[in-house]
A and B are shown apart, each in its own frame.
Chain A
Amino acid sequence: MSVLLDHLPELWQGLLVTFQLTAASFLGAAVLGVLVTALRVSPVRVLRALGTAYVETFQNLPLLVLLVLAFFGLPEIGIKADLRVTAIAVIAVYEAAYIGEALRSGVNSVAKGQGEAARAIGLTFGQSLRHVILPQALRTVVQPIGNIFIALTMNTALAAAVGVVDLTAAANRVNLLEAQPIPIFVGAGAAYALIAACAGFVTGRLERRLAILR
């Protein structure tokens, strides 16, 4: 236990980076995910194909492969950003595929008549999506999105492999010095579990508040 207390500043710094990675990449993934859903349900075939290609590409590649490609491949063609920014961008792009799919299942759960009615009163595709479909779709997918948030939190640990000093990397460094892996990694694990538990609690509350009975 004392190793954790002795190295609290380093571990805390790592935890802050994990928070940063989680929050920023979830935000990015949410925005991108809505766009991907819009593409996948759009009436234009080319756009639908584009959405499908995006989802298939990023769901079928391991995140670590994407991270390594972005960290070492992009600088070769002259694109180089800060390590943390690169990690956030890659995680956001990757998780957007999952959020897009979750949202699409929500869109499919909205009765067909809703979309037809929206069109009948003269709303454009964008308007019907924004005012009619998505507000209903989002309510049904609170729980899946919460799960994706938890998965995303765990996935941020992969950034440790490419040089970002998040909680996992910080724990690794402390262990290198102290050689007490069990208390150190149990401590780090507890911090991740706490984040996941908070996310689960919040999504549970949200779902109860937002659910519509049909």
Chain B
Amino acid sequence: MVMKRLVAVVAVSLLGLAACGETSSPAVPGGEAKKDDVLAQAPVAAAADILPGSTMEKIKQRGELIVGGSLDAPLLSQQNPATGQVEGFDADLGKALAKYIIGQPKVKIVNSASETREALLANGTVDVVFQTYTITPERAKQVAFAGPYYTSGLTIAVKKGATGIAKPEDLNGKKVLAGANTPAIPAIKKFAPQAEIITFGSDPECLQALKQDRGVAYVQDETLLIADAKKDPSIQIVTKPFTVDPYGIGLKHGDDQFKTFTNAWLKKMQDAGAWQKIWKSSIGTVVVGEAPQPPQIGSVPGS
């Protein structure tokens, strides 16, 4: 009897997970055909820019750029299970930087996490980090930031029809969901110190938890939530972004040569329209309208 019930529970919950996988399985943004086109516009550095003895020269000789990034961030850096390719805004920028240095978009993505990326940069395991790496003065003491290359913000999603949450301060005293290791946690603490924060590892888990009433609201990057709300009509977004998160390219602390080089590359990408193209093929597949104005390079404390 006990066994039977247990089997039933496992079976039903597997079904439940499978079902939710169907609705919330992240569609892979951007088509294959578009990808090559996007990188075709990306510039290649002049030989004179690759200074002898520099980090750039080391990468060029290796023939591969080692990028610290995610494999599970929809629209930004997500591994396509069918092709094994990592796709998205961050991933494509990484490939474009590889093309700029080496001449070909050859990257190796090392799956880094917010616990490890400072250490990975410091000990030289990765050359750069493209991973929604918000520039903060605390972090700038450990790593160097090129950019910012993109500005995003956090917003709030609730179950459709839920009332009482219109601004971040309304989260006080409520159970709030957030992705573990996302900037949402410190942001919630700042705007609503009395909120109880419940974290899950991935975006689909947070969504499932929201739908199962583990929390009344889900705080996440706006881009991600727009994509989620498009796929899943049972949730809705209730505010405009209430934070400004400038994403930087993480580099080894003190490598000013490489930082100047990377900033110059970013400028060329924006001038050539390659940055905008990459935005359009990734984030632009869920956000309506033209690519936004890229943020001013070096405009943020810590960059």
Contacts and interface: CB of A to CB of B under 8 A. Distances in A.
Interface string B112-147: 001110110000000000000000101101110000
Interface string A181-194: 11001000000000
Contact of A161 (B14, B186, B201, B213): B201
For the complex of A and B, the 10 pairs showing the least CB-CB separation, nearest first, are A73-B13, A76-B16, A75-B212, A179-B139, A163-B198, A181-B115, A77-B12, A69-B13, A179-B142, A72-B208
Interface stretch (B2-10, B25-33, B64-72, B284-292): B2-10
Interface stretch (B74-82, B101-109, B177-185): B177-185
A210 interface: no
Nearest to A161: B201
A181 B119 contact: yes
Interface residues of B, number: 40
A172 B280 CA distance: 33
B55 interface: no
Contact of B114 (A50, A69, A161, A175): A175
Contact of A169 (B114, B143, B199): B199
B9 A77 contact: yes
A74 B142 contact: no
B17 interface: yes
Contacts, number: 91
Contacts of B199: 163, 165, 169, 173
A176 B183 contact: yes
Given A69-B13, A77-B9, A83 B208 contact: no
26 contacts: A50-B3, A69-B13, A69-B14, A71-B209, A72-B17, A72-B205, A72-B208, A74-B13, A75-B214, A76-B12, A76-B212, A77-B9, A77-B16, A80-B213, A83-B198, A161-B200, A161-B201, A169-B199, A172-B114, A173-B185, A176-B114, A176-B183, A177-B186, A179-B139, A181-B116, A181-B119
B2 A181 contact: no
A116 interface: no
A147 B167 CA distance: 49
A72 B118 contact: no
Given A57-B6, A73-B14, A179-B142, 16 more contacts: A69-B13, A69-B14, A72-B17, A72-B209, A73-B9, A73-B17, A76-B13, A76-B16, A76-B212, A77-B13, A165-B197, A172-B181, A173-B185, A179-B136, A181-B116, A181-B119
Interface of B: 2-3, 6, 9-10, 12-17, 20, 114-116, 118-119, 136, 138-139, 141-143, 180-183, 185-186, 197-201, 205, 208-209, 212-214
B76 to A, nearest CB: 18
Nearest to A82: B214
Interface of A: 50, 53, 57, 68-77, 80, 83, 160-163, 165, 169, 172-173, 175-182, 185
Nearest to A173: B185
Binding site secondary structure of chain A: helix
B181 A176 contact: yes
Nearest to A185: B115
